């Protein structure tokens, strides 16, 4: 609802990770440099950690968009798995056909064959594990063992683990000392400072086609204090503030509007009221008094509903995009497989033709002698 009012072409503060809106603060730029270095140098293990909402997934999606065409990537989000299920999940994410009842030894053999085949074709393989702080010590040890799948000179598999600060604490446990020693590149994302938060907000406003100064200095300072410099919280507060500003017909968002947002949202924009829900029509009747359709409170409620629908739509589009990408990748793999089969058939046919020619020559020689 507020996009047209503020001159945006789309909403600037999405909650769904969107690499197109990536703002590289000094710490995010450092993180990206570390990750890209690890991938370029073909190190076995890369680790990225940071608090909830720090932009880890956005960074990963940015990297995936920049991944070279000669790299196969699989991403695992479901980390509440047993050690026996891990290899099966990996095979599924790499779209390797396998029997779910297959033993772990057979599954590892199948995966190793997959890695060898990719290596022979000059392709790299990357496994990304998100929310890795949920992995048990046993599963982390299974992941470490995967790094043993290598040739004498090269790593066949690169593994990037991404998680919250608890992951760093877990890795430091004496039980996982061997795992910690395998991590060649590691970076921890810390919250933004005030000036970075200002630049972050201005960046997203301009990216969406709006003015960079929609939020005044007092509003930005209040958002920084309430969000603790965590990008997702900044997004929550800014999005709600724009809704309130639109409802109040305010061209500039000031500290009064932000203060109201913080008060209504429980301090951080993430605490919802625990009161019993009131039917929508009853709320509209109460708010409008039976007919004041331009009530700011009603506009706010409608804007919140619209925001929820937009977030849901973005999540659905993200899932559809992933499925379509998988479908394209599968088609490409099928075409490549058919090309390889065709080349093999041609080779066989050439050999048969050659053998036939030699036999024919021998036959003609023998036939001439008999005459």
Question: Considering the domain boundaries, does residue 67 fall inside one?
Answer: yes
187 near 32, Cβ under 8 Å?
no
Closest CA to 135 of 174, 91, 186, 77: 77
What is residue 210's three-state secondary structure? coil
pLDDT in tens, 303-331: 555 555 554 555 555 555 555 555 555 55
In the listed set 306, 331, 353, which residue is the last one of a domain according to the structure?
306
Which residues share a beta bridge with 72? 125
Same domain, 174 and 224: no
Question: Considering the domain boundaries, does residue 320 fall inside one?
Answer: no
What does R_g of the chain's alpha carbons equal in angstroms? 29
23 near 204, Cβ under 8 Å?
yes
- List helix spans (H) across the chain: 2-6, 26-40, 56-66, 83-93, 104-120, 137-146, 165-171, 177-182, 194-207, 217-227, 231-247, 255-264, 280-288, 296-370
Same domain, 178 and 221: no
What pLDDT does residue 152 have? Answer: 73
**CA dist., res. 300 & res. 306, Å (int):** 10
- Global pTM reads 0.70
Question: Considering the domain boundaries, does residue 322 fall inside one?
Answer: no
Same domain, 127 and 256: no
**CA dist., res. 108 & res. 43, Å (int):** 21
Question: Considering the domain boundaries, does residue 371 fall inside one?
Answer: no
Phi, then psi, of 218 in degrees rounded to 5: -65, -35
Burial code of 328-361, b = ≥16 C-beta within 10 A, e = fewer? Answer: eeeeeeeeeeeeeeeeeeeeeeeeeeeeeeeeee
What pLDDT does residue 100 have? Answer: 81
Question: Considering the domain boundaries, does residue 369 fall inside one?
Answer: no
Which residues share a beta bridge with 46? 160, 185
Number of domains in the chain: 2
pLDDT in tens, 64-83: 888 778 899 999 988 888 88
245 near 218, Cβ under 8 Å?
no
What pLDDT does residue 102 have? Answer: 86
Same domain, 154 and 205: no
What pLDDT does residue 69 have? Answer: 81
Same domain, 185 and 279: no
Same domain, 172 and 295: no
- How many C-alpha atoms does 43 have within 13 Å on its Cβ side? 18
What pLDDT does residue 154 have? Answer: 81
270 near 233, Cβ under 8 Å?
yes
Same domain, 105 and 75: yes
Q: What's the residue count for the chain? A: 371
Q: Give the CATH number, domain containing residue 91.
A: 3.40.50.300
| Domain span at 73 | 26-189
**CA dist., res. 232 & res. 240, Å (int):** 12
Residue 325 structure tokens? 């990408």
Question: Considering the domain boundaries, does residue 353 fall inside one?
Answer: no
What pLDDT does residue 68 have? Answer: 73
User: For every one of its 371 residues, what pLDDT tens digit does the chain have, with 9 covering 90 and above?
Assistant: 799 999 999 999 988 888 999 999 889 999 999 999 999 988 999 999 999 999 999 999 998 888 778 899 999 988 888 888 899 999 999 999 988 888 888 999 999 999 999 999 999 999 999 999 999 999 999 999 988 877 777 889 999 999 999 999 999 999 999 999 999 999 999 999 999 999 999 999 999 999 999 999 999 999 999 999 999 999 999 999 999 999 999 999 999 999 999 988 764 444 333 333 334 344 334 444 444 444 556 555 555 555 555 545 555 555 555 555 555 555 555 556 666 666 666 667 666 666 666 666 665 666 666 55
Question: Considering the domain boundaries, does residue 293 fall inside one?
Answer: yes
Same domain, 165 and 47: yes
């Amino acid at each position: 609802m507020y996009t047209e009012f503020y001159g945006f072409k789309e909403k600037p503060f999405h909650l769904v990770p969107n690499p197109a809106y990536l703002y590289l603060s000094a710490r995010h730029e450092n993180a990206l440099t570390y990750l890209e270095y690890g991938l370029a140098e073909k190190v076995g293990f890369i680790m990225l950690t940071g608090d909830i909402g720090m932009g880890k997934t956005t960074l990963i999606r940015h990297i995936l968009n920049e991944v070279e065409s000669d790299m196969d990537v699989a991403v695992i989000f479901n980390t509440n798995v047993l050690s026996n299920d891990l290899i099966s999940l990996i095979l599924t994410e790499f779209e390797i056909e396998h029997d779910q009842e297959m033993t772990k030894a057979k599954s590892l053999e199948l995966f190793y064959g997959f890695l060898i085949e990719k290596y022979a074709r000059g392709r790299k393989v990357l496994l990304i594990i998100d929310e890795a702080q949920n992995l048990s010590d046993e599963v982390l040890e299974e992941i470490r063992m995967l790094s043993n799948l290598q040739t004498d000179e090269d790593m066949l598999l690169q593994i990037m683990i991404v998680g919250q600060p608890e992951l760093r604490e877990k890795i430091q446990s004496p039980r996982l000392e061997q795992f910690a020693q395998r991590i060649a590149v590691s970076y921890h994302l810390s919250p933004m400072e005030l000036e970075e938060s200002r630049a972050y907000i201005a960046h997203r406003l301009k990216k969406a086609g709006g003015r960079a100064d929609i939020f005044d200095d007092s509003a930005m300072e209040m958002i920084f204090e309430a969000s603790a410099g965590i990008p997702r919280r900044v997004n929550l507060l800014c999005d709600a503030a724009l809704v309130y500003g639109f409802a109040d017909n305010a061209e500039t968002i000031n500290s009064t509007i932000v203060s109201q947002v913080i008060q209504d949202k429980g301090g951080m924009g993430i605490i919802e009221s625990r009161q019993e829900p009131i039917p929508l029509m009853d709320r509209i009747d109460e708010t409008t008094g039976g007919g004041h359709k331009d009530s700011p409170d009603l506009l706010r409620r409608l804007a919140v509903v619209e925001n929820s629908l937009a977030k849901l739509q973005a999540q659905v589009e993200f899932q559809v995009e992933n499925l379509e990408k998988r479908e394209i990748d599968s088609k490409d793999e099928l075409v490549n497989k058919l090309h390889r089969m065709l080349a093999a058939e041609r080779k066989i046919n050439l050999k048969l033709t050659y053998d036939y020619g030699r036999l024919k020559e021998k036959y003609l020689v023998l036939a001439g002698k008999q005459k």
